[in-house]
């Protein structure tokens, strides 16, 4: 029961992108098409599951003062491994090319550090694995929805398939960076409306380093 | 002459055409999180700029003289991130001890910067573009300058947005993102400058 709850927590209640507003950089950058969003989501899910399990196993060994550098090394190691995998497996090579710079940058993805700090360092490896799967699925879902919306509106296709739209021509702006910001804002407003909770303020409360910068915790407003 | 042309091209490209925040989507967290006031966005922008330049200075020799000769260039992500984490820590301690006023202004932002994708991004881009030492450092400086400029512009806009009447469901983060979209839209105008 609690396994299912942990899994669904990542998808609905604490969705990393739509509710927690974490990992905004990849969310905005790679969602130009639905397929890219899906690929990025699944790659991050792998990194998240591996790092959650590893950090949970090592939680007794990592000294508290230097936990951030330790997490960084663990996550960066897995990310290097994943980018090798994408390079080697022929039918995944397109993903390696289309993610570009954002593939190595998974190593500094806020979601992974947030889960390491808030969950994996306090729970056992099995439940941390479930948490990683749930959070990864939530991230993938959000990226897929946003990628679909931007691809349909921006280039009039979905997953590479052309959608017949008659006289209406696609709005190119949604494929451009400006459209990414706009679409993300609208989706967050929409989620806030459905859940009847005002969207949380972006910034320090969701930041993985917040435990490190105590001044922020004290000062409140930045 | 050729080098001056190249430097000018990098300057214009990094600051206006391919701005880190608005077109490359790097460093969105500080861009949205620390841009409520002009003063704090100025501090954050300066701190990011300083760390970017230092990151380029430190990562270039490690990449060229250690990773490439040993044939382990694929380790660059891990190596760079470690270097950045290490010297941000050292910088913080040094500032705290010797430059107390500067530490008060910038210190709180330093730990935030360690896991900032803009810093790691700029070092990886320097390597991908095969820039030499000087060009790497200059490129990082320009990227930081672009970041600082956008932070300042955006914090000015946000101070106005805070005081205006926004529809109920767009209040807070959504309107911030839509404002960012409009700023990003205006930067598309620079697109033709590269020629």
Residue A220: predicted pLDDT: 38
pLDDT range class, residue A132, cuts 50, 70, 90: very high
Chain A residues lying within 8 Å of B85, measured CB to CB = 68-69, 72
Is the Cβ–Cβ distance between A140 and A18 less than 8 Å? no
pLDDT, mean of residues A180-192:
89
pLDDT range class, residue A222, cuts 50, 70, 90: very low
State whether A105 and B120 contact (CB < 8 Å). Answer: yes
Name the residue of chain B whose CA is nearest to A187's CA: B174
Nearest 5°: the CA angle B142, B147, B148 is: 95
Which residue reads 């989706």 in tokens? A187
State whether A24 and B29 contact (CB < 8 Å). Answer: yes
Residue B193: predicted pLDDT: 67
- Residue A162: phi, psi to the nearest 5? -70, 135
Residue B108: predicted pLDDT: 66
pLDDT, chain B, mean: 85
Question: pLDDT tens-digit profile of B88-116?
Answer: 888 878 888 887 777 776 666 777 777 77
- B-interface mutation test, from A36, A150, A181, most B Cβ less than 10 A away: A181
B102-to-A45, A213, B109, B183 alpha-carbon distances in Å:
40, 16, 12, 30
Per cent of chain B over pLDDT 90 is 13
Question: pLDDT tens-digit profile of A34-91?
Answer: 898 999 999 999 999 999 999 999 988 888 777 778 888 899 999 999 988 888 888 8
Name the residue of chain A whose CA is nearest to B176's CA: A185
State whether B171 and A198 contact (CB < 8 Å). Answer: yes
* Contacting A residues, span 19-48, partner chain B, CB-CB under 8 Å: 21, 24-26, 28-29
DSSP at A172: G
Two tokens at B159?
A: 């101070």
- Residue B177: phi, psi to the nearest 5? -65, -40
Q: Select the more confidently predicted residue: B112 or B78.
A: B78
Angle between helices B38-62 and B76-98 (to 10 degrees): 130
Is B78 an interface residue toward A (CB < 8 Å)?
yes
What's the complex ipTM? 0.85
State how far residue B26 is from chain A, nearest Cα, in angstroms.
6
Q: Please provide the DSSP assignment of B99-143 as one string.
A: -HHHHHHHGGGHHHHHT-HHHHHHHHHHHHTT--HHHHHHHHHHH
Q: Of A49, A52, A26, which Cα lies nearest the Cα of A39?
A: A26
State whether A188 and B174 contact (CB < 8 Å). Answer: yes
pLDDT, mean of residues B171-182:
88
C-alpha to C-alpha distance for B12 and B148, rounded to whole angstroms? 14
Question: pLDDT tens-digit profile of B60-71?
Answer: 999 989 888 888
pLDDT, chain A, mean: 83
**Closest Cβ–Cβ partner in B77, B78, B173 for A202:** B173
Chain CA centroid to CA A200, Å: 17
For chain A, the domains span 2-219
């Amino acid at each position: 029961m609690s396994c299912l709850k942990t899994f669904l927590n990542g998808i609905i209640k604490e969705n990393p992108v739509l509710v927690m507003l974490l990992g905004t950089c990849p969310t905005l950058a790679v969602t130009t098409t639905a397929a890219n969003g899906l690929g990025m989501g699944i790659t991050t899910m792998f990194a998240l599951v591996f790092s959650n399990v590893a950090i949970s196993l090592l939680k007794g060994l990592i000294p508290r003062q230097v936990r951030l550098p330790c997490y960084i090394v663990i996550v960066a190691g897995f990310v290097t491994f994943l980018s090798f995998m994408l390079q080697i497996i022929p039918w995944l090579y397109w993903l390696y090319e289309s993610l570009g710079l954002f593939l190595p940058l998974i190593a500094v993805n806020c979601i992974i550090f947030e889960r390491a700090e808030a969950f994996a360092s306090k729970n056992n490896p099995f439940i941390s694995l479930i948490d990683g799967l749930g959070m990864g699925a939530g991230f993938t879902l959000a990226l897929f929805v946003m990628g679909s919306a931007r691809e349909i509106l921006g280039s009039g296709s979905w997953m590479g398939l052309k959608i017949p739209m008659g006289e209406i021509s696609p709005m190119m702006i949604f494929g451009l960076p400006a459209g990414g910001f706009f679409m993300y804002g609208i989706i967050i407003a929409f989620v806030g409306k459905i859940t009847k909770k005002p969207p949380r303020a972006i910034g320090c409360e969701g930041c993985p380093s917040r435990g490190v910068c105590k001044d922020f915790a004290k000062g409140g407003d930045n | 002459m050729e080098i001056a042309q190249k430097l000018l091209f990098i300057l214009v490209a990094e600051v206006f055409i391919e701005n880190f925040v608005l077109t490359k989507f790097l460093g969105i967290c500080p861009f949205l999180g620390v841009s409520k006031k002009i003063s704090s966005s100025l501090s954050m922008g300066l701190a990011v700029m300083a760390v970017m330049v230092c990151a380029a200075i430190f990562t270039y020799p490690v990449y060229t003289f250690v990773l490439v000769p040993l044939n382990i260039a694929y380790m660059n992500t891990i190596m760079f991130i470690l270097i950045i984490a290490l010297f941000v820590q050292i910088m913080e301690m040094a500032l705290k001890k010797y430059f107390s006023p500067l530490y008060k202004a910038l210190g709180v932002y330093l730990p935030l910067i360690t896991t900032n994708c803009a810093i790691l991004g700029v070092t990886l881009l320097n390597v991908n573009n095969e820039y030499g030492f000087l060009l790497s450092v200059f490129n990082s400086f320009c990227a930081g300058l672009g970041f600082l400029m956008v932070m300042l512009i955006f914090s000015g806009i946000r101070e106005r947005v805070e005081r205006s009447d926004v529809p109920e469901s767009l209040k807070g983060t959504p309107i911030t993102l839509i404002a960012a979209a409009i700023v990003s839209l205006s930067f598309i105008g620079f697109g033709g400058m590269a020629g």
